[in-house]
Amino acid sequence: MAGRVIDGKAIAADVRKQVASDVAALKSAHGLTPGLAVVLVGEDPASQVYVRNKGKQTIECGMQSFEHRLPEETSEADILALVQQLNNDPAVNGILVQLPLPKHVDSNKILNTILPDKDVDGFHPANVGRLSIGERALVPCTPVGSVILAKTVQENLSGLNAVVIGRSNIVGKPVAQLLLKENCTVTIAHSRTRNIGKVVKEADLVIAAVGVPEMVRGNWIKPGAIVIDVGINRVPGENGKSKLVGDCNYEECARVAGAITPVPGGVGPMTIACLLKNTVEATKMQNNITS
Q: Is 271 in the site for ligand GUN (CB under 6 A)?
A: yes
Sites for ligand GUN among residues 123-152 (CB under 6 A): 141
Q: Has 54 been annotated as catalytic?
A: yes
Q: Is 96 in the site for ligand GUN (CB under 6 A)?
A: yes
Our CB check for ligand GUN shows the closer of 40 and 179 to be 40
Q: Is 121 in the site for ligand GUN (CB under 6 A)?
A: yes
Q: What is the largest CA-CA distance in the chain?
A: 57
Name 229's Cβ contacts closer than 8 Å, sequence gap at least 6.
Answer: 208, 216, 246, 247, 248, 250, 253, 260, 261, 262, 263, 266, 267
Which of 57, 98, 113, 249 is close enough to bind ligand GUN by CB under 6 A?
A: 98
Our CB check for ligand GUN shows the closer of 142 and 283 to be 142
Helix/strand/coil for 117: helix
Q: Has 18 been annotated as catalytic?
A: no
Residue 255: count other Cβ atoms within 10 Å of its Cβ: 15
Give the separation between CA 210 and CA 229, rounded to whole angstroms: 10
As measured in angstroms, the least distance from the Cβ of 104 to ligand GUN is: 18
Our measurement of the distance from residue 227's CA atom to the centroid of its chain's CA atoms, rounded to an integer in Å, reads 16
Q: Which of 54, 118, 222, 284 is catalytic?
A: 54
Q: Which of 98, 204, 277, 284 is catalytic?
A: 98
Q: Has 98 been annotated as catalytic?
A: yes
C-alpha dist (Å) from residue 42 to 39, 51, 69, 96, 162:
10, 12, 8, 15, 38
Residues that bind ligand GUN (CB under 6 A): 96-99, 121, 141, 271
**Hey, which residues are catalytic here?**
54, 98, 121
